[in-house]
Amino acid sequence: MLVRKAIEVSGIVQGVGFRPYIYRLAGERQLAGSICNTAAGVSIEVQGPPGAVDDFLSRLPAEAPPLARITAITVREIPCNGAIDFRIVTTHHGQPVSTLISPDVAVCADCLREMFDLADRRYRYPFINCTNCGPRFTLVCNIPYDRSFTSMAAFRMCPTCQAEYDDPRNRRFHAQPNACWTCGPQVELWDLEGKPVEVADPIAETVTRLQRGDVVAIKGLGGFHLACDAPNAVAVSTLRERKRRVEKPFAVMVPDIDAAQRFCELDEAARGLLVSPQRPIVLLRRREGTPIADEVAPFNRYLGVFLPYTPLHHLLFAEGRFTALVMTSANMSEEPICIANDEAVRRLQTLADCFLVHNRDILLRCDDSVIRVSGARARQLRRSRGFVPVPVFLSEDVPSILAVGGELKNTICLTKGRHAFLSQHIGDLENAESYSFFEEAIEHLQRILEIRPVAIAYDLHPNYFSTRWALAQSGLPQIGVQHHHAHIASCMAENHLDGRVIGIALDGTGYGADGRIWGGEVLLADYNSFERAAHLAYVPMPGGEAAIREPWRMAVAYLVRHFGCEFVRRLPALSNIPRQKLDVLFRMMEQGINSPLTSSCGRLFDAVAALAGIRHHVNYEAQAAVELEMAIGNSSDESAYPFELVAKAEDWIIGTRGLFDALLRDLSRDVQIGDISRRFHNGLVEALADVAKRLRERSGLERVCLSGGTFQNVYLCERLCDRLGNDNFQVFSQSEVPAGDGGLSLGQALVAVHKIR
Ligand code: ZN
Ligand code: ZN
Ligand code: FE
């Protein structure tokens, strides 16, 4: 007796070797039938003895190719026919195909084995790939995902490659970037004028130059890296000076997982991330006494580490000449990553000593992703290469929205059906190059995802470039979304929540509904609307933007508010600030000149960091807060600085007088910075838990969502999650989507979805 079943598989199942996989799986069980691509995924029919068909069905999801991502499988019984073999039915142009494109992933073990096999025809070929690995997203200019719509269209396959491509039993069946030494892309070493350097082996020459301390711009998957030898302090300092990047840490690429283990503390979760096909940069606590130069990550206890992910990276490390290479996005600070060869020569001339380029074009830039592990959870700090364009899966079908994100760490989001596509990291829009990338990404993603939005969502800040862009688009409804409401909606969407929640949104800056700078907010929110139920008390930011770069100004602002000018003048902790500067600040605040009011949590961290003696000036965003968190020692001190809760009408204001009182007392008793930092964090957790409980009494809500850039602080996030959990709240935080402004566009999109309904 035979049975025949029709199986629909949806998710990322095209361009990832799914059809040959099914062909093999059916063949091994002597099942007849067929497979073809459809708009939602693939459609399969199998026919054979019931036992064999059941076995096929149970193995199908379990053994799927590594790049496949199955979201649903439906099976129904259909009448048998006379079929005797299994066939792959190829898609013809014009037929609907899935718009889910695989992200770029690391070269697989099979390809690496071939690349280092002297007898293989692709021995040392830097562009080796197969259906299980290699570039995807960054090569695609249109859909369907087919070679003619990728930057591989310029390369005509040789007969041997073509035979692999056409053979369903070959692991390069329909591998669109398939290539070899004869027919595919090649590398060249270029000098600063963009002229090829005559050398037999450009990669070997690159290794030599890196070893002698040069900075080399190396073309990768989603853009160029600037590389130098990580133990070489002179080379690293040179790179810092040229890039004008004073202290912000550089990421390092290490040859293998053992090296990562030698340099950093690794747990299972971190290990899994490092070797995953996505190969993100993972932030890890560094060990003492590594050979990596201090200049790589000054004042930082963490190191951003990643493993080689392109064949070219593996070739650079192959001879074992490097313990670690600095690999940082090739750009001036905060500009977008550089992708084209001529663009590299133009933009990187003052940064690099030479260029290792190739002629496979990158069609869309995509930075490395950055992840931090907290508890057993991976939390995205920058979601880019390896993850984009895998959608965030939503709990229901939604209309198509374009959400344009915030200003810093911008991403955009496009929704379609049950999918929310967050773009790769775009960057800080105040910079002209990033702004063009922003426009380019909107256009490109709409095309390859086939999305025509019916509305645009934007941040309420009138001066954000993304806001101005959105308001300049005519013909579509425009929906403004408050910054912290968007943060909470982002957390809700990621966790498939609906209805109303208590939302704790903590960050540096977001435009408030009252025109002030918000950032320490507790909301009662659903997708449609929110109520600001509690917030940190307002303080002035003397000097506006300058107060962000100089945390000591926030210390002064808080102390003047609580204890007056005379007290601040006599305070030992601020004695190294010139008296004149203090007087200017006092006057600014007194007369309200350039001193906008803020409830920002980031600025509160700045004030505490400055008083604790961590730093008075920052060289990159949130540096003082990051260093304050890192200062927390291993003590088991459970004490907490007190915050005051003051009722104001229906709402609560979170006051900080008790906190600063206790902090100054600790300073005068020479309490260690580690304990001061811990007590501050503990105090903030207690205050927020207290607010949550009062809001539960008032509203009956038991679900709490945590979002905003401050929750990238692992100590705060974990401790608050635990604390609220102990109080019987259901706590939700972000992990797949960044809690910072990189995740903002997702929340904007979901708010807009509900507002246009
Ligand atoms: Zn491979
Ligand atoms: Zn070939
Ligand atoms: Fe924010």
pLDDT band at 635 (very low <50, low <70, confident <90, very high): confident
Which ligand sits closest to the CA of 128? 1
Closest CA to 410 of 419, 391, 393, 423: 423
Q: Cα(265) to centroid of ligand 3, in Å?
A: 30
Which ligand sits closest to the CA of 182? 2
For the domain 3-88, what is the CATH code?
Answer: 3.30.70.100
Q: Please give the Cα distance from 297 to 308 (Å, whole number).
A: 20
Q: Cα(72) to centroid of ligand 1, in Å?
A: 26
Query: What is the reported pLDDT for 67?
Result: 83
- Between the alpha carbon of residue 590 and those of residues 393, 540, 557, the distances in Å are 50, 10, 11
3-state secondary structure of 25: helix
Place of tokens 């979201």: 71
pLDDT at 755 over 90: yes
Contact criterion met (CB below 8 Å) for 406 and 398? no
The class that CATH gives domain 534-697 is: alpha beta
Q: Cα(411) to centroid of ligand 1, in Å?
A: 30
Instruction: Give residue 108's identity as a one-letter amino acid code.
Output: C
The two three-digit tokens of residue 734, written as one number: 């972000």
Query: What is the reported pLDDT for 305?
Result: 98
Query: What is the reported pLDDT for 585?
Result: 96
The class that CATH gives domain 187-358 is: alpha beta
Which ligand sits closest to the CA of 157? 2
Q: Cα(307) to centroid of ligand 1, in Å?
A: 16
Q: Please give the Cα distance from 644 to 653 (Å, whole number).
A: 8
Q: Cα(124) to centroid of ligand 1, in Å?
A: 14
Q: Determine what percent of the chain is predicted with pLDDT higher than 70.
A: 99
Contact criterion met (CB below 8 Å) for 203 and 360? no
Q: Please give the Cα distance from 577 to 593 (Å, whole number).
A: 20
* Least confidently predicted of 306-315, 332-341, 730-739: 332-341
Query: What is the reported pLDDT for 1?
Result: 87
Which ligand sits closest to the CA of 748? 3
Q: Cα(161) to centroid of ligand 2, in Å?
A: 4
In the predicted model, what is the mean pLDDT of residues 48-72?
A: 93
Query: What is the reported pLDDT for 717?
Result: 96
pLDDT in tens, 211-227: 999 999 999 999 999 99
pLDDT in tens, 323-374: 999 999 998 777 888 899 999 999 999 999 999 999 999 999 999 999 999 8
Q: Cα(106) to centroid of ligand 1, in Å?
A: 8
Which ligand sits closest to the CA of 485? 3
Which ligand sits closest to the CA of 122? 2
Query: What is the reported pLDDT for 89?
Result: 85
Cβ neighbour number for residue 723 with a 10 Å cutoff: 18
Which ligand sits closest to the CA of 107? 1
In the predicted model, what is the mean pLDDT of residues 647-666?
A: 95
3-state secondary structure of 219: strand
Q: Please give the Cα distance from 46 to 30 (Å, whole number).
A: 10
Query: What is the reported pLDDT for 272?
Result: 95
Q: Please give the Cα distance from 700 to 502 (Å, whole number).
A: 10
Q: Whole-prediction pTM value? A: 0.95
The two three-digit tokens of residue 180, written as one number: 């070899």
Query: What is the reported pLDDT for 456?
Result: 98
Contact criterion met (CB below 8 Å) for 267 and 377? no
Q: Please give the Cα distance from 342 to 348 (Å, whole number).
A: 10
Which ligand sits closest to the CA of 163? 2
Q: CB-based contacts of 147: which residues, under 8 Å, 6+ apart?
A: 153, 176, 177
Mean pLDDT (the chain) is 95
In the predicted model, what is the mean pLDDT of residues 532-558?
A: 97
Q: Cα(281) to centroid of ligand 3, in Å?
A: 22
Q: Cα(99) to centroid of ligand 2, in Å?
A: 28
Q: Cα(487) to centroid of ligand 3, in Å?
A: 7
Query: What is the reported pLDDT for 167?
Result: 92
pLDDT band at 520 (very low <50, low <70, confident <90, very high): very high
Contact criterion met (CB below 8 Å) for 427 and 410? yes
Q: CB-based contacts of 176: which residues, under 8 Å, 6+ apart?
A: 15, 136, 139, 145, 146, 147, 150, 152
Q: Please give the Cα distance from 212 to 169 (Å, whole number).
A: 46
Task: Look up residue 536 and give its DSSP letter.
Answer: E
pLDDT band at 92 (very low <50, low <70, confident <90, very high): low
Instruction: Give residue 563's identity as a one-letter amino acid code.
Output: F
pLDDT band at 145 (very low <50, low <70, confident <90, very high): confident
CA atoms within 13 A on the CB side of 739: 26
The two three-digit tokens of residue 267, written as one number: 């747990």
727 vs 574, residue with greater confidence = 727
H/E element, 204: helix 202-211
Q: Cα(189) to centroid of ligand 1, in Å?
A: 25
pLDDT at 20 over 90: no
Q: CB-based contacts of 598: which residues, under 8 Å, 6+ apart?
A: 509, 516, 517, 518, 519, 538, 539, 540, 541
pLDDT band at 649 (very low <50, low <70, confident <90, very high): confident
In the predicted model, what is the mean pLDDT of residues 592-600?
A: 97
Cβ neighbour number for residue 566 with a 10 Å cutoff: 9
Instruction: Give residue 346's identity as a one-letter amino acid code.
Output: R
pLDDT at 684 over 80: yes
pLDDT at 143 over 90: no
Place of tokens 């070219």: 312
Q: Which sequence spans correspond to the domains of the chain?
A: 3-88, 187-358, 534-697
Rg of the chain on CA atoms, in Å: 28
Q: Cα(131) to centroid of ligand 1, in Å?
A: 6
Going across the sheet that includes 401-403, the strands are 392-398, 413-422, 401-403, 455-459, 478-481
Q: Determine what percent of the chain is predicted with pLDDT higher than 90.
A: 89
3-state secondary structure of 46: strand
Instruction: Give residue 478's identity as a one-letter amino acid code.
Output: Q
Q: Could you tell me what percentage of the chain is helix, strand and coil, using 3-state DSSP and rounding each to the nearest 5?
A: 35, 25, 40
pLDDT at 650 over 90: no
Query: What is the reported pLDDT for 41?
Result: 87
Q: Cα(267) to centroid of ligand 1, in Å?
A: 27
Query: What is the reported pLDDT for 180?
Result: 98
Query: What is the reported pLDDT for 96?
Result: 62
pLDDT band at 467 (very low <50, low <70, confident <90, very high): very high
H/E element, 59: helix 50-62
The two three-digit tokens of residue 733, written as one number: 């935080």
Q: Please give the Cα distance from 655 to 520 (Å, whole number).
A: 11
Q: Please give the Cα distance from 611 to 621 (Å, whole number).
A: 18
pLDDT at 636 over 90: no
In the predicted model, what is the mean pLDDT of residues 579-599?
A: 96
Q: Please give the Cα distance from 327 to 244 (Å, whole number).
A: 16
Q: Cα(308) to centroid of ligand 3, in Å?
A: 32
Closest CA to 738 of 299, 406, 445: 406
pLDDT at 376 over 90: no
In the predicted model, what is the mean pLDDT of residues 82-96?
A: 77
Closest CA to 656 of 551, 547, 555: 555
CA atoms within 13 A on the CB side of 219: 27
Phi, then psi, of 243 in degrees rounded to 5: -80, -10
pLDDT in tens, 167-200: 988 999 989 999 999 999 999 999 999 999 999 9
CA angle 737, 150, 362 (to 5 degrees): 60
Check whether the bond before 144 is cis (ω within 30° of 0): yes
In the predicted model, what is the mean pLDDT of residues 77-98?
A: 80
Q: Cα(200) to centroid of ligand 2, in Å?
A: 21
First to last CA, the chain: 52
- Extract the runs of DSSP E, i.e. beta strands, from 288-384: 302-306, 325-329, 354-358, 370-374, 377-382
pLDDT band at 506 (very low <50, low <70, confident <90, very high): very high
Contact criterion met (CB below 8 Å) for 230 and 292? yes
Contact criterion met (CB below 8 Å) for 121 and 178? no
Query: What is the reported pLDDT for 113?
Result: 98
Q: Cα(557) to centroid of ligand 3, in Å?
A: 22
Closest CA to 16 of 390, 412, 434, 576: 390
The two three-digit tokens of residue 247, written as one number: 């202290």
Contact criterion met (CB below 8 Å) for 338 and 330? yes
Contact criterion met (CB below 8 Å) for 135 and 159? no
Query: What is the reported pLDDT for 747?
Result: 98
Q: Please give the Cα distance from 737 to 383 (Å, whole number).
A: 7
Query: What is the reported pLDDT for 99?
Result: 67
Q: Cα(381) to centroid of ligand 3, in Å?
A: 13
pLDDT at 95 over 70: no
Which ligand sits closest to the CA of 488? 3
**Domain 3-88 and domain 187-358 have a common topology:** no
Q: Cα(355) to centroid of ligand 2, in Å?
A: 25
In the predicted model, what is the mean pLDDT of residues 613-638?
A: 92
The two three-digit tokens of residue 231, written as one number: 């133990």
pLDDT at 375 over 80: no
DSSP per-residue string spanning 408-461:
TTB--EEEEEEEEEEPPP-B-TTSHHHHHHHHHHHHHHHHHTT---SEEEEES-
Q: Cα(743) to centroid of ligand 3, in Å?
A: 9
pLDDT in tens, 232-241: 999 999 999 9
